[in-house]
Homo-oligomer: A and B are copies of this chain.
Amino acid sequence: MARLRVLVLGSAAGGGFPQWNCRCPICCLAWAGDPRVTARTQSSLAVSADGKAWLLLNGSPDLRQQIMSTPALQPKGEARSTPIAGVFLTNGDVDHIGGLLSLREQQPFTLYGSQTTLSLIAKGSIFGVLDPRVVKQIPVGIDQIIGPQAGLTLRPFAVPGKVPLFLEGETVEIAETETTVGLEIAAGGKRLVYVPGCADLNAGLVARLSGADLLFFDGTTFTDDEMVRLGLSPKTAARMGHLAIDGPRGSLERLAKVQIGRKVYIHINNTNPVLVAGSPERRKVEAAGWEIAYDGMEIVL
């Protein structure tokens, strides 16, 4: 027999509790770990009649975190699946629709809402929350040095890449434009290079990485056909604008003889076996002098 079940995924208003930039008296309790208050994510419920299929009421920007802490909403069936059958939007505020961004990945579900709200989603003017009177936007050209900003100088450089997935047309071209950039960052005489997405390690790019004190480099997939072999996507890493770690054209081989202080793979896809401590792939990259980035990793150069 159907019973109406409700899970509170998030109980706070926009910004959550504590709010990222707030030291109001109550947020201060939360930041201090006062036992009288409990942290809360942004507003959302999940409802179900059978405890198996769930409908979300609003998708908060914290939705991914909420799914992580809610076993009922985690996939149980096929390789790509979800117990989330749909989402109902009660309005178009950011704290209620931002989580839709976490429900991408080609997963079918149904989105409900008033025509007014769905029109907002279609129009996508949500980034108007970044009020230009408050948030300054500075376009930065390729090789334009900016800073010091927070004591750092930064210089973006073009890396081979493609347009974002949501703007892809019928054909996808890999080009070295400002669509995707890497960053050189310097302070205290040290140089960090950050390239979380890179479709090809050409000679110019290798030269730029040479001599860096620290490199964070695209570690999306281990092999080029990793997603294809797992049946998760028809796309190779190359098609997604990423250079695989392994193989004769991979980053491991291309950077093997380049002088770099510390080399760290980042932007690691969930299919990449380097995520598994002790795996042959992890051992292979570690033996080659690479590290695998982890949340909370801290490096002081």
Contacts and interface: CB of A to CB of B under 8 A. Distances in A.
A125 interface: yes
B17 A270 contact: yes
A82 interface: yes
Nearest to A25: B230
A29 B301 CA distance: 33
Given A45-B266, A47-B192, A116-B177, 13 more contacts: A4-B213, A12-B267, A16-B64, A20-B73, A23-B75, A23-B76, A55-B149, A57-B185, A69-B296, A86-B150, A92-B164, A111-B136, A124-B125
Interface of chain A: mostly helix, strand, loop or mixed: mixed
A31 interface: yes
B220 A49 contact: no
* Chain A interface size, under 10 / 10 to 19 / 20 to 34 / 35 or more: 35 or more
Contacts of A85: 149-150
A1 to B, nearest CB: 6
Nearest to A81: B21
Interface in A142-191: 142, 146, 148-152, 154, 156, 161, 163-167, 177-183, 185-188, 190
